[in-house]
Amino acid sequence: MQSWSALVLPALELVAIAAFALSGVIEATRKRLDAFGVCVVGFLTAFGGGTLRDVLLDRRPFFWVEHQYVLVGVLLLCIVAISIMRRRHLQQTERMIQWPDAVGLGLFCATGVHLAWTLGMPWLVAVMMGVITASFGGVLRDLICNEIPALFKDHRPYALCAVAGGLAYALVQASPLPDWMAIGACVIVTTGLRLLTLWRDWRLPQWQGE
Which residues sit at the interface with its own copies, rule CB under 8 A? 28-29, 31-38, 40-41, 51, 55-56, 58, 60, 62, 64-65, 68, 71-72, 85-88, 121-122, 124-125, 143-149, 151-155, 157, 159-160, 204-205, 207, 209-210
Nearest distance in Å: CB 129, its own copies: 10
Nearest distance in Å: CB 89, its own copies: 8
Closest CA to 43 of 17, 65, 80, 12: 17
Spatial distance between the Cα atoms of 11 and 170, rounded to a whole number of angstroms: 26
**87-97 b/e with 16+ CB inside 10 Å = b?**
eeeeeebeeeb
Residue number, 12 or 71, with CB nearest to its own copies: 71
Nearest distance in Å: CB 72, its own copies: 7
Nearest distance in Å: CB 195, its own copies: 19
Residue number, 52 or 110, with CB nearest to its own copies: 52
> For the residues of 49-66, what is the DSSP string, one character each?
HHHHHHHHTT--S-HHHH
Residue number, 24 or 106, with CB nearest to its own copies: 24
Residue number, 68 or 175, with CB nearest to its own copies: 68
Residue number, 15 or 71, with CB nearest to its own copies: 71
Half-sphere exposure of 77 (CA within 13 A, CB side): 24
Q: Considering Cα of 62, then 66, then 71, then 73, what sign does the dihedral take?
A: negative
